[in-house]
């Protein structure tokens, strides 16, 4: 089954959701990569203030995912997606008034909070479709998002050449349009289901009961903790690699080459790779294999390559991009599908919200570890790559041990009633 055939099998709502996933990343990456440069160079704001603004945006998204997940389970995922779209559009438009400090911080807050609202809701919504396997669904989501991430900076650069104001308005438009579209697609049946869900949740103790349910799900908590290692690695293509290229006196185009190659590989091969993986081994095994590959990919930078120019100069970075992206392709769809499996289809959005809290910790920890490794490069120029290899292999081993323990426990539970008889 091709990616086009699989896409067409989905209902209209899910097809539009995938288009929205592409357009959302397109709008986000049109503006955000150029925001810091505009604030610093055009508005002449201090680096400290720019850092605080970007930090507020990131914190409000990562730190409030749980709030978004809880609200989605209480009031329905589609309503949260619509509200998130509207807030992201408003936040992007408020960047038009970045010269006013209070408005600038409000724009950063709304932009981040919007992501916290619609991301867990969207992931929960994607996990509930029945036409494709969950892994295939999240593979399609990955393709859509990578497409937006690839084209976003290109479109943003073209719009920025016109003006920053035009860039803000055009970046906000997709979110406003899809808010209207999803409002129209919200059927009465969904609303009734959401109301029934609210009543049922209220009887069981409301928000506190949902949080308690997640915290008591030890299997999910352990899995989320282990997967923080995955997120320690996932950000290194845009953090460790640019640092390495700068240290090697490389050109900015070298960074763009790696990012573009990773995106292109994922767009072209994510879905067929996921379908192939489903034919062999289990999701847990592919998660371990993928994360191990992500870590081992950094070993390509340890040897001293003799090529200082020409096409072969890009060989080590290309090998890194291929191995790293292959690792993400065989692990990401199964990681995202496992969350809803471990949630047992109860308070799924809340589980995604909790999971993204661990993801945020992993992103921060990964950046901190790599930063320290680069600061102590005098001990070993390859210290950062050794750390990332250890993180990848360690996470893969922990997941494998966790999988074995979980399966053994499940087997004991299924055989114990028979034994007692």
The residue extents of the domains of the chain are 1-203, 206-404
Which helix (H) or strand (E) covers residue 306, if one does? none
pLDDT for the residue 194 = 43
CA 288 – CA 6 distance, rounded (Å): 26
CA 59 – CA 183 distance, rounded (Å): 28
Which of 45, 35, 55, 53 is CA-nearest to residue 171? 35
Question: How confident is the model over 193-222, as pLDDT tens digits?
Answer: 444 444 444 444 577 778 888 888 899 999
Q: Is 11 exposed, middle or buried (0-12, 13-18, 19+ CB in 10 A)?
A: exposed
Fold matches, 1-203 and 206-404:
yes
CA 142 – CA 209 distance, rounded (Å): 32
Q: What is the mean pLDDT of the chain?
A: 83
CA 82 – CA 190 distance, rounded (Å): 14
Q: Is the pLDDT of residue 186 over 80?
A: no
Class of domain 1-203: mainly alpha
Q: Band of the pLDDT at 12, cuts 50, 70, 90?
A: confident
> What is the model's pTM?
0.81
Q: Band of the pLDDT at 68, cuts 50, 70, 90?
A: confident
CA 362 – CA 357 distance, rounded (Å): 9
Q: Is the pLDDT of residue 341 over 60?
A: yes
Q: Which residue has the higher pLDDT, 379 or 113?
A: 113
- Location of structure tokens 């950063």: 108
Q: Band of the pLDDT at 224, cuts 50, 70, 90?
A: very high
Q: Band of the pLDDT at 169, cuts 50, 70, 90?
A: very high
CA 326 – CA 19 distance, rounded (Å): 24
Question: How confident is the model over 346-365, as pLDDT tens digits?
Answer: 888 889 888 988 888 888 88
pLDDT for the residue 188 = 41
- Location of structure tokens 């288009």: 19
pLDDT for the residue 39 = 86
pLDDT for the residue 195 = 45
Q: Is 12 left (phi over 0), alpha (psi -120 to 50) or beta?
A: alpha
pLDDT for the residue 397 = 95
The phi, psi pair for 216, rounded to 5°, reads -80, -10
Structure tokens at 379: 């001990």
- Provide, rounded to the nearest whole percent, the portion of the chain with pLDDT above 70: 88
Class of domain 206-404: mainly alpha
pLDDT for the residue 322 = 93
pLDDT for the residue 413 = 62
pLDDT for the residue 288 = 95
Q: Band of the pLDDT at 88, cuts 50, 70, 90?
A: very high
| Helix (H/G/I), strand (E/B), else coil: 365 | helix
- Provide, rounded to the nearest whole percent, the portion of the chain with pLDDT above 90: 28
- DSSP state at residue 302: S
Q: Is the pLDDT of residue 187 over 60?
A: no
Radius of gyration, alpha carbons of the chain: 22
Handedness of CA 62, 67, 69, 72 (dihedral sign): negative
């Amino acid at each position: 089954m091709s990616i086009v055939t699989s896409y067409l099998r989905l209902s209209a709502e899910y097809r539009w959701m995938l288009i929205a996933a592409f357009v959302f990343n397109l709008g986000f990456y049109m503006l955000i990569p150029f925001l810091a440069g505009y604030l610093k160079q055009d508005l002449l704001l201090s680096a400290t203030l720019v850092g605080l603004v970007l930090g507020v945006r990131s914190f409000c998204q990562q730190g409030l995912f749980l709030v978004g997940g809880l609200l989605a389970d209480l009031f329905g995922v589609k309503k949260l997606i619509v509200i998130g779209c509207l807030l992201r559009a408003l936040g992007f438009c408020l960047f038009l008034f970045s010269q006013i400090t209070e408005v600038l911080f409000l724009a950063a807050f709304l932009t981040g909070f919007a992501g916290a609202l619609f991301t867990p809701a969207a992931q929960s919504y994607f996990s509930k479709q029945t036409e494709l396997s969950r892994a295939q669904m999240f593979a399609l989501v990955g393709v859509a998002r990578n497409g937006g991430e690839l084209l976003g900076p290109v479109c943003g650069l073209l719009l920025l050449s016109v003006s920053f104001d035009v860039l803000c308005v055009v970046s906000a438009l997709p979110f406003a349009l899809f808010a209207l579209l999803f409002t129209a697609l919200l059927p009465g049946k969904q609303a009734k289901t959401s109301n029934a869900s609210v009543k049922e949740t209220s009887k069981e103790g409301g928000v506190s009961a949902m949080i308690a349910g997640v915290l008591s799900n030890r299997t999910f908590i352990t899995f989320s903790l282990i997967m923080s290692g995955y997120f320690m690695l996932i950000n290194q293509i845009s953090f460790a690699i640019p640092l390495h290229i700068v240290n090697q006196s490389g050109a900015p185009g070298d960074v763009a080459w790696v990012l573009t190659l990773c995106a292109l590989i994922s767009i072209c091969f994510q879905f067929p790779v996921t379908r192939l993986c489903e034919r062999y081994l289990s999701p847990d095994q592919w998660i371990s294999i993928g994360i191990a590959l992500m870590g081992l990919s950094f070993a390509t930078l340890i040897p001293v390559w003799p090529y200082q120019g020409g096409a072969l100069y890009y060989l080590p970075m290309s090998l890194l991009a291929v191995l790293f992206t292959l690792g993400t392709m065989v692990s990401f769809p199964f990681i995202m599908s496992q969350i809803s499996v471990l949630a047992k289809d109860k308070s799924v959005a809340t589980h995604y919200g909790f999971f993204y809290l661990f993801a945020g910790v992993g992103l921060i920890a990964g950046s901190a570890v790599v930063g320290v490794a680069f600061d102590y490069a005098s001990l070993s120029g390859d210290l950062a790559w050794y750390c990332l290899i250890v993180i990848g292999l360690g996470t893969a081993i922990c997941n494998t041990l966790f999988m074995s323990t979980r399966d053994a426990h499940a087997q004991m539970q299924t055989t114990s009633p028979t034994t007692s008889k």
